[in-house]
Structure 1
Amino acid sequence: MQHDNEFSADVIVVGGGPVGLALAGDLGWRGISCILLEQGDGSIVQPKMDGVNVRTMEFCRRWGIVDQVYNCGYPQEYPQDMVYLTSFSGYELGREEFATPSGGSEESRPGVSPELRFRCPQNLFDPILRNFAQGQAPVSLRYCTRLAAFEQDDAAVVATVQAADGQPQPLRARYLVGCDGAASSVRKGLGISMSGLGTLTYTTNVLFRCPTLRENTHIRLGYRYLFVGPEGTWATVVAIDGRDTWRLSLIGGKERTEHGDAEVRAAIERVLGKPMPYTILSIVPWVRRELVADTYRRGRVFVAGDAAHMTSPTGGFGMNMGIADAVDLSWKLEAALRGWAGDALLDTYEIERRPVAQRAVREASGNLLRTLSPGANPRLLEASFEGALLRYKVGKHFSATMLREWYKLGIDLGYVYSGSPAVVPDDEPPSPVQGPRSHGLPPDGCLGDGTRVTPALLREWQRLSMHLSLGTPIEASWQELPAREVMLYRQTTTPGARAPHVWLADGASTLDWFGRGFVLVADTDADTDAFESVAAALRTPLSVQRCADTAVRAAYVAPLVLVRPDGHVAWRGKHATANTASRVLEQILAQSRSGPICDNTRPLEENSL
């Protein structure tokens, strides 16, 4: 192993998909030198993802690229409805309408985020992330360069890399992160095993162009179409570019199947329902799996994204979860590299992100069962009263069943790092602060804790009620999360949760405060001297945001709320002495003054909250 003292970069990122690009970009944004290795040229043969969720859009806002995503070229006026049908020339069984372009919250201003989820397929999203990463001076992107091998010791990782036309070259870094997908060579090189349900289906994606489809169907436009036949749900189609390019997914089963040209054409013609000209652009077989890595770290090497978790795409969790991995790991690498955190902080990456993955991939597997819930209905296509009644019943129950997949902010935003050493739990939960009072009826009224009752909140409650009353229960081999936990999301400053979004008088969001270092959100009269002094002594970047806005005080509850660089709450309290501030920051950052980090179960001072 190379033992010289020269480092090629602080971090080597393996894999140039959206997760690797996001990690490299965020590290560079933090001033951390990084080399990204991608064995391909960066081109996208067939986009694997097509939706950017709210949390990822918040990260894009932080990085200054959110407007590029909104203007990525996908037509913003294109409807984002979810449609259940027999074919484009057959029967529509039901649909879930989304009034806001790109399927975001039905209103943005009073919602739980300053951003909306947005439709930006990978072939449009990756170039935006690539430009972001390239724009960071400490980042070097090396395409057509593969990782041949790596080894590590207590001081460094040495990667042997090889360009397409070059000799093997050693690169020395402090850390290495494998963002190299489901077949990750980094994960395999570390000998990390994976656990979960394993193979769910053998599926085939077919990208095809059909320029006349939109004008040759009586079915109103939508984004995702789920096709139900007499045998049950057998395929989906998504509008890749909102114009003439579509992706057909043949769901398949647990037995490996290969579709020849004739079978693929028969499937396309079945979804079209009548003759239309089309061109097949690509056919990509793939295996739908549910697996999570048993560990996310070995020494100085980590895994993230699909290298750490494989999931059914039902729910759109994969890429978005991977980018959240990147954001969690990035600030911790910065803290370790700059010396304001101990090495044990890096262990919290797995502690925090692995349970999130386990929760999300299992939800996605449940969504697959919901997709298949109609089952066989041999008389579904009959042109008779009985057939029509059957179609009505199938559509009603299928529409209600699928609502859990479309309304899932509890998965996208509602995870809490409650068991992490980098989070200090409450000694005693604070009393709610009353927000602005309104005596009007919904949607102008407020809940008892001051939460405004908005049309978006009412819609989510109504959809939850419909799902519970009309949806088809799935027969899973595991205990599912309560539907309420998935479909409803309430902002909170519970330690470990995402810090709340509140609009400010100047048009900014409270989320705009977070990203670089720690932020202490404080009431105007709260004493912050202890935290500021201790942070300075520990060389920890900390800023203070004082706000007298009643909506902010209601959302943040406690007079002092400490928010980490990733935007998650680390601690909250009524006030803090120097001893309290020391214990909190030393625990979070895995530092110690004269001994081990304080026990996470040990309460802070009695009056700290």
Structure 2
Amino acid sequence: MSDQELPTSIPILIIGAGPVGLSLAIELRLHDVPVVMIERTPTIEDDHPKGRANDMRTLEHYRRWGVSDELRALAWTTENPRQELVITETLLGEPIGAFPLRLGRDPAESESLAAEPSLSVPQPVLMRVLERKARELGALIYRGWEVTKLAEEERKDRVIATVQSPGGTPHRIASSYLVGCDGPNSLVRRTAGIAQGGTGPLGRTWTYVVRTQGYPISELISGRKYAALGMLLVVNPEASSIISIPGYDEWGVGILKTGQGEAIAEPSDEEVKSYVQQLLGTPATVEILSRSSYASMTRLSTQYRRGRLFIAGDACHICPPTGGHNMNTGIEDAVNLAWKLAAVILGWGSDSLLDSYDTERRPVGKRVSDIAMANSLAMQEADKFLHEDDNLSLSPSQKAQSVYDRSYTQWNSYGVVLDQRYDGSSVILQDRWEAPAWDPSKYWAHARPGHRAPHLWLSDGRALHDRLGPGFTLLTIGGRQEEAAKFLSVAKSLGVPVIDLDIAPEIAQGKYPAKLTLIRPDQYIAWQGDKCDPEDVLHHVSGKKQATKHLRDLKL
């Protein structure tokens, strides 16, 4: 785009066109909010592979956006859709164990939990699909441009960004709100003066894509024992790593060096090649194709908002990739924030609705980061366990079982994926329906305010989430048309977008205990009950007032 095509003002300006920024842009455009994105990298590069995990909750968004079929056609698949964690001592040796991999990748496993299974696709592939969708919906994306300065003008209710074009020409663009999806070193976060805390770094992991001459990965994992391969873990006294599979001939490996304080030296090429040979099980010729690294640490911002400046994704939270949660958590940040920004821009939401973004998403960011770090430490402890003298005599199958047991939440993450909760939110109307304690590996699939609306298959074969509106949806069980009509009439008078969806009691399958359930644009439950004052509920969930004591005390 030429310099002259950059608008001088826009309701929402997004900095960063990674998966999180693109998700935010797509959601905003689905709410008909104009948006401009600034991304300093000129193109999407197929560099070192990362960010392959796309969980069931994220697939619900891809499905709504109309891109899940395209992504699934591009995803890595296995001969057996069941998918397992396969553990072996070398890639040339026989597997010593295969264990459940409860990540929702098998349709038979996931169909009672979500409309689509999770998938594995390289991040550059994902970004191209999302960027194409964002542009199709009307988002203006400026690649090769860079934001150099930000300033809030409180008296004029706007943010001014100074933007440099690819040719070096400075421009100014004003926005009502600005969102930084601009990574761990976020300019938006630094400009807002938002601090971060966290754990570590406790070490650094270097990741490599390699080619082993005469041993293409496709041949190494061929055969019946690898038919359900979802994750591959190699563990032996000299080397251990989760193996990634970016291509027919190439495979990926990670090397962890623990330590704190001073910079940790990267392994030499000779060390890397020796390590790869130990994983392979033979002294083959090793070619290093690409490399990257990450610190074993967590970082969580103390705020996700300051005034008209917001942050999302890596700008808010970073954690080890164990479990594959950070990108998915960032996409959920975007979905949560988008409808709230849209509500304020379109006039039916209040400023306190925007405050709820921090209240809801920051505790999730901490919880996920803590789990990811615990997973990372558990993998280290499992490796140490196998090197202890008392355990050297364990049989191969016992070793595999020990590794699996010690790293269980790495491979079983239903709770992290589907059961994040907004219990402390000011725009959620809590009731007396009690939920069990949160468990990272288990999903409690019942409706409760502050929880994701549980998945159902409807009588027409469609998923419940396919029928939810872009605004709120009032779910009625068994024909409560009088109450629904009153609720929709009040919503219309207040300008709050609400549609009605009635389902039969037998379809609800005990997952929805109330006759009326109000589901938000982000598919979370805002309120449930058998009766209410619609105006009171709608004012509360749009952030315009707190609930009355009468409304809080209503029982199911």
State TM-score, norm by structure 2: 0.90
| Aligned match for 1:167, one of 166, 169, 173 | 169
**2:278 aligns to what?**
270
Matched, 1:581 2:534: yes
Q: Which moved more, 1:330-339 or 1:507-516?
A: 507-516
Q: CA deviation at 1:104?
A: 3.0
Q: CA deviation at 1:285?
A: 2.4
| Aligned match for 1:339, one of 347, 362, 369 | 347
Question: What secondary structure is seen at the aligned counterpart in 1 of 2:405?
Answer: helix
Verify the 8 A CA contact 1:522 1:528 in the aligned structure 2: yes
Cα separation, 2, equivalents of 1:150 and 1:320: 28
**1:552 aligns to what?**
508
Q: Which moved more, 1:258-267 or 1:300-309?
A: 258-267
**2:52 aligns to what?**
50
**1:514 aligns to what?**
468
Q: CA deviation at 1:423?
A: 0.5
Question: What secondary structure is seen at the aligned counterpart in 2 of 1:37?
Answer: strand
Q: CA deviation at 1:515?
A: 4.7
Aligned-partner residue type, residue 215 of structure 1: E
Task: State how 1:414-433 maps to structure 2 within 5 Å.
Answer: 414-426=419-431, 428-429=432-433
Change (3 A) 1:35 1:218: closer
Change (3 A) 1:127 1:184: same
**1:317 aligns to what?**
325
Verify the 8 A CA contact 1:230 1:380 in the aligned structure 2: no
Q: CA deviation at 1:198?
A: 3.0
Cα separation, 2, equivalents of 1:378 and 1:74: 31
**1:598 aligns to what?**
546
**2:400 aligns to what?**
395
Q: Which moved more, 1:330-339 or 1:152-161?
A: 152-161
Verify the 8 A CA contact 2:18 2:181 in the aligned structure 1: yes
Matched, 1:501 2:430: no
Verify the 8 A CA contact 1:213 1:276 in the aligned structure 2: no
Verify the 8 A CA contact 1:193 1:294 in the aligned structure 2: yes
Cα separation, 1, equivalents of 2:216 and 2:95: 19
Task: State how 1:461-476 maps to structure 2 within 5 Å.
Answer: none
Cα separation, 1, equivalents of 2:222 and 2:521: 50
**1:209 aligns to what?**
211
Cα separation, 2, equivalents of 1:99 and 1:333: 34
**1:88 aligns to what?**
91
| Aligned match for 1:371, one of 366, 369, 379 | 379
**1:362 aligns to what?**
370
Residues 171-194 of structure 1: per-residue CA shift (max 9 Å, x gap): 111111111111212112212111
Matched, 1:224 2:224: no
Residues 391-440 of structure 1: per-residue CA shift (max 9 Å, x gap): 343222112223322111111111121111110111x439x9xxxxxxxx
Cα separation, 2, equivalents of 1:76 and 1:235: 20
Cα separation, 2, equivalents of 1:394 and 1:50: 28
Change (3 A) 1:557 1:152: same
Verify the 8 A CA contact 1:11 1:173 in the aligned structure 2: yes
Q: CA deviation at 1:312?
A: 1.0
Residues 246-294 of structure 1: per-residue CA shift (max 9 Å, x gap): 2211122124121222222222222222144553221112223211100
**1:62 aligns to what?**
64
Change (3 A) 1:326 1:605: closer
Q: CA deviation at 1:149?
A: 0.9
**2:244 aligns to what?**
238
Show structure 2 runs of 5+ residues with no match: 1-6
Verify the 8 A CA contact 2:102 2:413 in the aligned structure 1: no
Verify the 8 A CA contact 2:430 2:552 in the aligned structure 1: no
**1:562 aligns to what?**
518
**1:10 aligns to what?**
11
Cα separation, 2, equivalents of 1:506 and 1:330: 30
**1:435 aligns to what?**
none
State TM-score, norm by structure 1: 0.82
Cα separation, 1, equivalents of 2:357 and 2:520: 13
Q: CA deviation at 1:99?
A: 10
Cα separation, 2, equivalents of 1:262 and 1:510: 54
Matched, 1:21 2:29: no
Aligned-partner residue type, residue 158 of structure 2: A
Verify the 8 A CA contact 2:8 2:172 in the aligned structure 1: no
Residues 211-239 of structure 1: per-residue CA shift (max 9 Å, x gap): 623325789433433333336x7432211
Verify the 8 A CA contact 2:457 2:464 in the aligned structure 1: yes
Show structure 1 runs of 5+ residues with no match: 1-5, 433-480, 592-596
Identity over aligned pairs, percent: 30
Cα separation, 1, equivalents of 2:50 and 2:453: 30
Verify the 8 A CA contact 1:190 1:298 in the aligned structure 2: yes
Aligned-partner residue type, residue 94 of structure 1: G
Q: CA deviation at 1:381?
A: 12
Q: Which moved more, 1:310-319 or 1:184-193?
A: 184-193
Residues 25-69 of structure 1: per-residue CA shift (max 9 Å, x gap): 111122111111111122241132111000000001111111011
Matched, 1:286 2:288: no
Task: Kindly report the root-mean-square deviation, in angstroms, between the aligned alpha carbons of the 2 structures.
Answer: 2.7
Aligned-partner residue type, residue 525 of structure 1: R
Verify the 8 A CA contact 1:87 1:227 in the aligned structure 2: yes
Cα separation, 2, equivalents of 1:567 and 1:520: 11
Task: State how 1:174-213 maps to structure 2 within 5 Å.
Answer: 174-210=176-212, 212-213=216-217
